[in-house]
C-alpha cells in the first residue's frame, strides 16, 4: 500500500524538517542513487506492531515526515470510527531513543491540528505508563514512540486503543489505509501550546505507581536484596519508586545503565533475551549477595531474570521459566473459578497443566500481547489473573491488558522473598514445579534470514519426517500465526515462525522429560538450507 501519490526525493528533501536527516538524504542523492531508489520504493508499512525501522531519510525509514503522516492517519481513523474521539482524545508518550521527543511532539501537533484532544506525557516514560494512562483518562487511543528492545539505530510507533490494549486486525489495516491517503510533505500541525494539548493529570501517573505496587500477594514477607538494570532505558526511576512503595526497599542498580541513553553504550543489543545483555546486572548481584537479578528492556514492558545456581554461578531464566514462576505464585494466592490465564502458541504448554490443576480457565492465542488482550476481551465473564508470552512479556496487573515489566519485577521480587522466608531458592521453586507437572525442557534457536516467510513456507510444503532422531507424528500449520508446529514421538514439540520485528526465523522446542535441543538444532539446519 503506497501513499496517495509518488513523492520525488527532491520534494521530500525540501520538506524534511531535521538538518541531520536532510543532510543524509542530500548526500545519498549525490552519491548513491540506487540507495535513494530503495528508500523511496515503498513506504514504511503500518501493521499490528505499528511502525518500526531505523531512523533515517526516506519513505521506509523512521523520520518526522513518516511520523507526521502516521499521526494524521491515526487521528483520521479515530475521528471517523470512534464515537466521541475528538473529546476523549489521544494520549501521547515516548521513550528516550533518538528523535523520540520530536516524533512525540509532532504527533501531538498533528492530532491537535485535526481537532483531536491530546493528553501529553512530558518526558520519557515506560510503555506500561502509557497503556495505564490511556485506560485512566478514558482516551480513545494512545501513541507510544518506542522501538522497545530493537537495536539502537531503530525507533518505532505503537498504537493503543481505549482501555490500553494494542491494536489488532482489522484496525491496523484501517489505520494503514488512512495513512496511505496522507501526503507526508504537507501535514498541517498545531502549535504545542494549542488549547487542545494538555498534560496528563499528575494523579494519573501517581496512580500507576500505586496500582503496580499493589500487585503483591504476600505483604507478610520482608524484602530480599535485588539487583536491577534499566538497560539504558526509561524504567529505572519508575522501578525504584514502585519498589519503595511496595515495601521492597531499593534495588541495587547498575549505575552505568541506569540513565536513559538511546545509544545503549554498554550493551550490543538492548534486549534481556540476548546473550551477554544481563552480564552487568549479574555481576552486581553476585557482588552484593542478591537473591535475584532482574532487567527491563528499554521501554520497560518486558522482564528478564537471572538466578544463582548454588555454585557461585548465575543463569538467565528462559521466558517460559519466568512465566511458570509467576503463574505458580498467582494461582497459589488467588481464588475463584472465574479465573483466566492466557498464553500464546509459541509459549510452553505447562501453563495449561497448571490451569487444569487449579481448576481455572486457560486460553492459547496467537503470538503477541495484542492477541492476549483480545482473548481477554472475548471472555468478559472471566477474570484474567495472569498472562504471558515467552518473549519476556508478563501481565500480573488486572488492567490494562498489556505486558508490564515493572509490575512483573515487583512480583518476581516478592517470589524471591517468599522463597527466602521458607528457606528455599528460586531454583528450588522451579524444581518443585517440575516435580508437580513434569519436567518441561526448553530449547530456543534463531536463524538469521531476510526470507523468513519463504523459509517457513518451504518447510510447510515439505516437512521433515524425523527431527533429532524422533519420528514426526503430527504436522500443523497455523496460518494466522505463520507458525509450523511439529509433534514428535517421545514427547517433543518443535515450532517455527518468522519474527515479526527482526530478519530471523525463531525456533521454539519443548520436551517433557526429554531434551528438545537436538531437534531444535536439526530444524535450524533445515531452515538455513531454505534461506
Domains of the chain and CATH, by start: 9-200 (3.40.120.10), 209-215+224-437 (3.40.120.10), 440-529 (3.30.310.50)
Give residue 1's pLDDT band: very low, low, confident or very high (50, 70, 90): very low
Lowest mean pLDDT among 362-376, 403-417, 498-512: 498-512
Residues classed as catalytic = 148
Mean pLDDT across the stretch 229-237? 98
Give residue 3's pLDDT band: very low, low, confident or very high (50, 70, 90): very low
Mean pLDDT across the stretch 108-115? 98
Mean pLDDT across the stretch 337-349? 95
Instruction: Tell me the DSSP string of 393-426.
Output: EEE-SSSSSS--HHHHHHHHHHHHHHHHHTT--H
- Of residues 399 and 15, more confidence is placed in 15
Per-residue model confidence as pLDDT tens digits over 59-81: 999 999 999 999 999 999 999 99
How are beta strands 90-94 and 466-467 bridged, if at all?
unpaired
Give residue 49's pLDDT band: very low, low, confident or very high (50, 70, 90): confident
Lowest mean pLDDT among 29-38, 42-51, 235-244, 330-339: 42-51
Are the C-beta atoms of 482 and 494 separated by less than 8 Å?
no
The burial of 217, by beta-carbon neighbours within 10 Å (0-12 exposed, 13-18 middle, 19 or more buried), is given as middle
Per-residue model confidence as pLDDT tens digits over 246-283: 999 999 999 999 999 999 999 988 999 999 999 999 99
Report pTM: 0.94
Give residue 503's pLDDT band: very low, low, confident or very high (50, 70, 90): confident
Residue 4: what pLDDT? Answer: 52
Per-residue model confidence as pLDDT tens digits over 283-323: 999 999 999 999 999 999 999 999 999 888 999 999 999 99
From residue 118, give the alpha-carbon distance in Å to each of 124, 140, 195, 197: 17, 10, 9, 5
Give residue 440's pLDDT band: very low, low, confident or very high (50, 70, 90): very high
On the question of pLDDT at 2 being above 60, the answer is no
Q: For 456, what's the count of Cα atoms within 13 Å in the CB-facing half-sphere?
A: 29
Per-residue model confidence as pLDDT tens digits over 470-498: 999 999 999 888 999 999 998 899 999 99
Instruction: Work out the percent of the chain whose per-residue pLDDT is above 70.
Output: 99
- Cα 487 from chain centre: 28
Give residue 399's pLDDT band: very low, low, confident or very high (50, 70, 90): confident
Phi, psi of 489 (to 5 degrees): -65, 140
On the question of pLDDT at 100 being above 90, the answer is yes
Instruction: Share the mean pLDDT of the chain.
Output: 95
Amino acid at each position: 500500500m503506497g501513499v496517495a501519490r509518488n513523492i520525488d526525493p527532491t520534494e521530500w528533501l525540501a520538506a524534511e524538517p531535521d538538518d541531520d536527516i536532510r543532510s543524509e538524504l542530500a548526500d545519498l542523492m549525490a552519491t548513491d542513487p540506487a540507495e535513494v531508489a530503495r528508500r523511496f520504493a515503498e513506504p514504511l508499512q503500518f501493521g499490528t506492531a505499528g511502525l518500526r525501522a531505523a531512523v533515517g531519510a526516506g519513505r521506509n525509514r523512521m523520520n518526522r515526515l513518516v511520523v507526521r503522516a502516521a499521526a494524521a492517519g491515526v487521528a483520521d481513523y479515530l475521528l471517523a470510527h470512534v464515537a466521541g474521539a475528538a473529546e476523549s482524545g489521544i494520549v501521547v508518550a515516548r521513550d528516550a531513543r533518538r528523535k523520540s521527543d520530536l516524533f512525540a511532539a509532532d504527533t501531538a501537533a498533528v492530532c491537535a491540528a485535526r481537532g483531536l484532544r491530546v493528553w501529553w506525557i512530558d518526558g520519557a516514560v515506560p510503555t506500561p505508563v502509557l497503556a495505564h494512562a490511556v485506560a485512566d483518562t478514558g482516551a480513545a487511543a494512545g501513541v507510544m514512540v518506542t522501538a522497545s528492545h530493537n537495536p539502537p539505530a531503530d525507533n518505532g510507533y505503537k498504537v493503543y486503543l481505549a482501555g490500553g490494549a494494542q491494536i489488532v486486525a482489522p484496525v491496523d489495516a484501517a489505520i494503514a489505509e488512512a495513512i496511505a491517503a496522507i501526503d507526508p510533505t504537507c501535514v498541517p500541525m498545531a502549535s504545542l501550546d494549542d488549547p487542545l494539548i494538555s498534560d496528563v493529570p499528575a494523579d494519573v501517573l501517581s496512580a500507576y505507581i500505586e496500582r503496580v505496587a499493589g500487585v503483591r500477594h504476600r505483604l507478610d514477607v520482608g524484602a530480599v536484596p535485588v539487583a536491577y538494570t534499566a538497560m539504558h532505558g526509561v524504567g529505572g526511576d519508575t522501578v525504584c519508586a514502585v519498589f519503595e512503595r511496595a515495601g521492597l526497599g531499593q534495588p541495587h542498580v547498575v549505575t552505568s545503565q541506569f540513565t536513559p541513553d538511546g545509544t545503549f553504550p554498554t550493551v550490543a543489543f538492548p534486549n534481556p533475551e540476548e546473550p551477554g545483555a544481563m552480564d552487568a546486572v549479574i555481576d552486581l548481584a553476585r557482588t552484593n549477595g542478591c537473591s535475584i537479578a532482574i532487567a527491563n528492556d528499554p521501554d520497560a514492558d518486558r522482564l528478564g531474570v537471572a538466578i544463582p545456581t548454588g555454585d557461585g554461578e548465575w543463569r538467565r531464566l528462559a521466558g517460559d521459566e519466568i512465566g511458570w514462576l509467576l503463574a505458580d505464585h498467582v494461582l497459589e494466592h488467588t481464588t475463584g473459578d472465574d479465573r483466566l490465564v492466557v498464553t500464546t502458541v509459541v509459549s510452553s504448554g505447562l501453563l495449561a497443566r497448571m490451569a487444569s490443576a487449579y481448576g481455572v480457565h486457560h486460553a492459547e492465542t496467537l503470538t503477541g500481547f495484542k492477541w492476549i488482550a483480545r482473548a481477554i476481551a472475548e471472555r468478559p465473564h472471566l477474570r484474567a489473573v495472569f498472562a504471558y508470552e515467552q518473549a519476556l512479556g508478563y501481565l500480573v496487573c488486572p488492567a490494562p491488558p498489556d505486558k508490564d515489566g515493572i509490575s512483573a519485577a515487583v512480583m518476581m521480587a516478592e517470589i524471591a522473598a517468599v522463597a527466602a522466608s521458607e528457606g528455599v531458592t528460586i531454583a528450588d521453586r522451579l524444581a518443585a514445579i517440575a516435580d508437580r507437572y513434569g519436567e518441561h525442557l526448553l530449547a530456543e534457536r534463531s536463524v538469521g534470514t531476510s526470507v523468513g516467510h519463504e523459509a517457513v513456507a518451504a518447510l510447510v510444503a515439505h516437512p521433515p519426517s524425523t527431527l533429532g532422531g524422533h519420528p514426526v507424528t503430527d504436522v500443523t500449520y497455523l496460518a494466522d500465526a505463520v507458525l509450523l508446529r511439529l509433534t514428535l514421538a517421545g514427547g517433543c514439540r518443535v515450532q517455527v515462525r518468522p519474527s515479526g520485528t527482526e530478519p530471523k526465523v525463531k525456533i521454539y522446542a519443548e520436551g517433557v522429560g526429554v531434551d528438545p535441543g537436538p531437534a531444535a538444532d536439526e530444524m535450524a539446519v533445515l531452515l538455513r538450507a531454505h534461506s
